[in-house]
Chain A
Amino acid sequence: MQRHSGSGSDFVEVTAQTPGSAKPDPILIADHITRTFGGLTAVNVAHLEIQRGSITALIGPNGAGKTTFFNLLTGYDSPNSGSWSFNEIALNGIPSHKVARLGMVRTFQLTKALYRLTVLENMALGARGQKGESLFTSLFPWLWRAQEKEITEKALSILTNFKLIEKKDDFAAALSGGQRKLLEMARALMVEPEMVMLDEPMAGVNPALKQSLLEHIKDLRNEGKTVLFVEHDMDMVREISDWVVVMAQGEVIAEGTPTSVMKNEQVIEAYLGAHHDVDLSAEGKK
């Protein structure tokens, strides 16, 4: 397979707009992933590839299995069957914290800011390979102080970028809902991920903050990171995503560019029902 070069969205032209299509340079590949809860099949994804360095949106009506799929990919839940790999490393049975260490870091639909830690502490927690986090080295502050200083500087620079710098010494609980979303994303960046998985980054965010969140997501792509996000806000999907994957009833039913996907019959059907433009009243039947 030819290695894809160039940034972001070039791959769109060479990729088939069909469910499960092959990408020139996939960072994440999932095969035959199923997850059932009792009799309900929540996820049943035959094949999915996510292009490296792209912004991919995962959309679908409520109950389509998007968040469950996210949980499966990131090790927060385990599938009944299937295999998936990140950077060609198989992730079956890998616990969630190791998935994060491999470079795939997620955020949560219900924001998980660490409330009784300050904003700066939230950030510092994200840094990898901290000597002071080991039980024995923690007892000898001179062994980790220098590293802690570097981490703080890095955290402060990201916070400045996310306009949270004035809040650095406040408890995370004191932030607004939108600011918590920003903090969660900023904290994920402290892990230096290759791929960022955002679960509904725009939910409950006011329009002013929304714009700045969008810019941050675009910046991630410009830095060469891959973004996969679940979202209901179609304006956002249209504005920033290179590629859209549509799930319904646990399956991938369509893939493609935002414009083509939104015209797709099956997608409209999944969202609005098969007979949404048919008049079902007695008069209509005549």
Chain B
Amino acid sequence: MDFLFITQQTLSATIGVNTIIFALAAIGLNMHFGYTGLLNFGQAGFLAIGAYSVAVPVISFGLPLWMAFLIGIFNSVIFALLLGVPTLRLRADYLAIVTIAAAEIVRQIARSATFNSTLGGSDGITGKFGADFFALNPFKSGIDTPILRFNANDLWVVITGWSLVAFIVFIMWVMVNSPWGRLMRAIREDEDAVRSLGKNVYLYKMQSLIIGGVIGTCGGFVYALSRQSVQPDNYGTALTFFAYTVLILGGAARVFSPVIGAMIFWFLIVFIEQVLRQGVSNNLIPDWLIGANQVSQIRFMLMGLGLMLLMIYRPQGIFGDRKELALDAKA
């Protein structure tokens, strides 16, 4: 077993590009679900909109990248309004149904043959749409140390990505600790009570949906840029539920929990995968038990087992307060 290689792979993943993407997706969900109580099951849709908004304007319409970012944020706001206007006046479950369907609609439109020429159909879009971004990369070479390894482009994505995460977490922290954040948490507890105090609940829920959605869209930007390609099937419902996993791992309604949750999520996935792979290739794990091509499925099984244990022994997540969670049952 090459433990150094396992360590290098695991640590690089823990602070890597995927962690940034999932952290951003989960920060958005934390705004929706953790702070406002909105059940958004379509976060993948917001990421897809981010990814396609970066790729399509540059590749298909030849616009500069900075304009593509603005288009992405604009599209994300429109998507949030489309989801919110019909559902936010209704009970919470309607939003859940509409969002899960809307995210699938986005994915199906993206992979449809009709828009093959602009959206790339089921193959998606691959091309140098991130050229403007990577032109700014000050790193001529990546880093290759025994414990961390990134190539030059990934290093640039990781550094800008974590700066973006830090900025968004800071803004979130300021907002949730303001009277605005208090109002959001109150809506999560009981929106009729908040209405009775003269607050326009509908407006605030819409703000939450837009903000959380735009943060998710930023995750989509990172997703597309880091790979220089957009594949529609990466933005299926699994992405949304992994983002929920990340959020619940960290503990909902805590500012840092999506970030730590994403780190733990990717640490575990890559660590389990590398250990299994090394075990299989060194014949430490017999072939009849796990074959080399079963590893990537089995890592998710073990991940699921870990989550079940977490829910049983620490339902509040890493950062949550068990007493606070228990209050719900009393209500």
Contacts and interface: CB of A to CB of B under 8 A. Distances in A.
Asked if A pairs with B, the answer is: yes
Interface of A: 74, 76, 95-98, 100-101, 105-108, 112-117, 121-122, 124-126, 128, 130-135, 138-139, 141, 144, 148, 171, 173-174, 184, 187-188, 190-191
Contact of B328 (A101, A115, A188): A115
18 contacts: A74-B196, A95-B200, A96-B192, A97-B195, A97-B197, A97-B198, A100-B198, A105-B196, A113-B193, A116-B324, A124-B179, A125-B182, A138-B179, A141-B178, A171-B327, A173-B327, A174-B327, A191-B198
B307 interface: no
A114 B179 contact: no
Nearest to A148: B179
Interface stretch (B143-151, B183-191, B232-240, B262-270): B183-191
Contacts of A112: 190, 192-193, 196
B92 interface: no
B207 interface: yes
A114 B189 contact: yes
A97 B199 contact: yes
A115 B179 CA distance: 17
Contacts of A113: 193
Nearest to A75: B195
Given A96-B192, A121-B182, A173-B331, 11 more contacts: A76-B192, A95-B200, A100-B195, A105-B198, A107-B196, A112-B192, A117-B185, A125-B183, A125-B199, A144-B178, A191-B197
A126 B182 CA distance: 11
A191 B195 CA distance: 12
Interface of B: 171, 174-175, 178-183, 185-186, 188-190, 192-201, 207, 324, 327-328, 330-331
A133 B183 contact: yes
A105 B197 contact: yes
A79 to B, nearest CB: 18
Highest count of chain A CB atoms <10 Å: which of B175, B179, B190, B194 = B179
Contacts of A95: 195, 200
Q: Please provide the 7 A-B residue pairs with the shortest distance between their CB atoms, ordered closest to farther.
A: A132-B179, A138-B180, A112-B193, A100-B198, A138-B178, A173-B327, A114-B189
Contacts of B194: 114, 125
B207 A135 contact: yes
Contacts of A128: 198
Q: Give the interface SS of chain B, mostly helix, strand, loop or mixed.
A: helix
B28 to A, nearest CB: 16
Given A115-B327, A138-B175, A125 B186 contact: yes
B180 A133 contact: yes
A132 B178 contact: yes
Contacts of A132: 178-180
A284 to B, nearest CB: 49
Nearest to B182: A121
Contacts of B180: 132-135, 138
Contacts of B174: 138-139, 141
Nearest to A98: B198
Nearest to B201: A97
Contacts of A124: 179, 182
Contacts of B195: 76, 95-97, 100
Nearest to B174: A139
A116 B327 contact: yes
A12 to B, nearest CB: 30
Contacts of A144: 178-179
B105 to A, nearest CB: 28
A138 B35 CA distance: 15
B192 A126 contact: no
B318 to A, nearest CB: 18
Nearest to B176: A138
B330 to A, nearest CB: 5
Given A100-B197, A138-B181, A139-B174, A173 B330 contact: yes
B324 A97 contact: no
B179 to A, nearest CB: 3
Identify the interface centre among A95, A116, A128, A184: most chain B CB within 10 Å of its CB: A116
Contact of B193 (A108, A138, A141, A174): A108
Contacts of A97: 195-201
A184 B185 CA distance: 17
A171 B324 contact: yes
A95 B191 CA distance: 13
A139 B180 CA distance: 9
B197 A130 contact: no
Contacts of A126: 197
Contacts of A114: 185-186, 189-190, 193-194
A185 to B, nearest CB: 12
A105 B331 CA distance: 23
Contact of A117 (B171, B189, B331): B189
A71 to B, nearest CB: 10
A188 B198 CA distance: 10
A139 B199 contact: no
Which of A106, A107, A131, A138 has most chain B Cβ within 10 Å? A138
Contacts of A98: 198
A158 to B, nearest CB: 14
A125 B197 contact: yes
A212 B199 CA distance: 29
Nearest to B253: A116
A255 to B, nearest CB: 26
Contacts of B186: 114, 117, 121-122, 125
B193 to A, nearest CB: 4
